[in-house]
Amino acid sequence: MGKLQQDHHHHQHQNSCNPTCFSYTTCLSLLLRISLSSRLKAGLISLLTLALLVSGIFWILPSHHKSGFDASDAIKRSAPVQAYFGLHKPVLELFPHIGRLEYDINAEIGVPDTKVAVLSMHQSGASNWTDIVFGVLSDPINIPINSVSLSLLQSSLIQLFLQQSNLTLTSAIFGQPSMFEILKFPGGVTVVPSQSISIWQIPQILFKFNLNNSISDIEENFAQFRDELRFGLHLRPYEV
């Protein structure tokens, strides 16, 4: 009889512990789930942040590939002045010297509070020719280039286009540039064609218009352009 009472008391003691043990196990399981959920959320946030960071880096940094080089879109949009020339060098040989090329161009045409950036560098039709596009940006970049600097820069670019001066680069690396073009300039640029008469005999300009052609294209076909202009406007021979 005494043994049955002891077994009965022991069984009651075990039953009295069960609610506490069950509550402890439930809480521990809940905490583990919360911890796991928090870690998953933190991991997803970290991955998303990393993806955005990598995307931003690729947006800022220039791109390189075998056929050429391109500066970031942000740099291209920030260059109000852009020009082009060709180099008789394979594009792969020029990749390591982009910084030197920018330095040489800046030494030739640089004006105060500006800097030169190579915007693109691509292999031309021939494998040993490379097309170079460079831009002139304000320095610092968030301030527009002032009018005095623009005027000096415009004069230098026109002289290069008309071959009244040369763009001198480190010849051992780049050779001699050719085919200089002005691609973009605030307000445009005005190039006066070569005249056989004195500048004082040039009549007053009565009108102007724009053409979707480069200055060099018009210059190369200037005689044909003048004849078509004379015919279209019914002008006398001495009026054009």
Specify the pLDDT at position 31. 54
CA–CA dist 195, 163 (Å, integer): 16
Using DSSP's 3-state secondary structure scheme, residue 117 falls into: strand
Q: 0.85 cut: is pTM over it?
A: no
Residue 177's pLDDT band, with cuts at 50, 70 and 90, is very high
Give the pLDDT score at 239: 62
pLDDT of residue 213: 75
Report the C-alpha gap between 97 and 88 in whole angstroms.
15
CB contact at 8 A, 157 and 92: no
For residue 17, pLDDT over 50 is answered with: no
Collapse the DSSP code of 179 into the 3-class scheme (helix H, G, I; strand E, B; otherwise coil) and give the result. Answer: strand
Longest dimension (CA), the chain: 142
Q: CA 226 to CA 98: how far, in whole Å?
A: 41
CA gap 198, 159 in Å, rounded: 20
DSSP-assigned states of every residue in 42-91: HHHHHHHHHHHHHHHHHHHS-EEETTEEE--HHHHHT-SEEEEEEESS-H
Dump pLDDT digits (tens) for 58-92: 444 455 555 688 999 999 999 999 999 999 999 98
Nearest-Å Rg of the Cα atoms of the chain is 36
Looking only at the bridges linking them, the beta strands covering 178-184 and 81-87 are antiparallel
Mean pLDDT value of segment 159-177: 91
Rounded to an integer, what distance in angstroms lies between the CA atom of residue 81 and that of residue 134? 8
Q: Strand, helix or coil at 96?
A: helix
Residue 173 banded pLDDT, cuts 50, 70, 90: very high
Which amino acid is residue 28, in one-letter code?
L
Residue 186 has pLDDT above 50, yes or no: yes
Confidence of residue 163 (pLDDT cuts 50, 70, 90): confident
**CA dihedral of 196, 200, 204, 209, whole degrees rounded to 10:** 40
pLDDT band at 193 (very low <50, low <70, confident <90, very high): low
Q: Could you tell me whether strands 63-65 and 130-138 are parallel, antiparallel, or unpaired per DSSP bridges?
A: unpaired
Give residue-wise pLDDT tens across range 203-234. 555 666 677 777 777 777 777 877 777 766 66
Look over the chain and give the mean of its residue pLDDT values, rounded to a whole number. Answer: 75
CB 82 within 8 A of CB 134: yes
Task: Specify whether the CB–CB gap between 184 and 81 falls below 8 A.
Answer: yes
For residue 38 the two structure tokens come to 């928090």
Question: Does residue 15 or residue 181 have the better pLDDT?
Answer: 181
CATH code reported for the domain at 68-191: 3.30.70
Predicted confidence at residue 136, as pLDDT, reads: 96
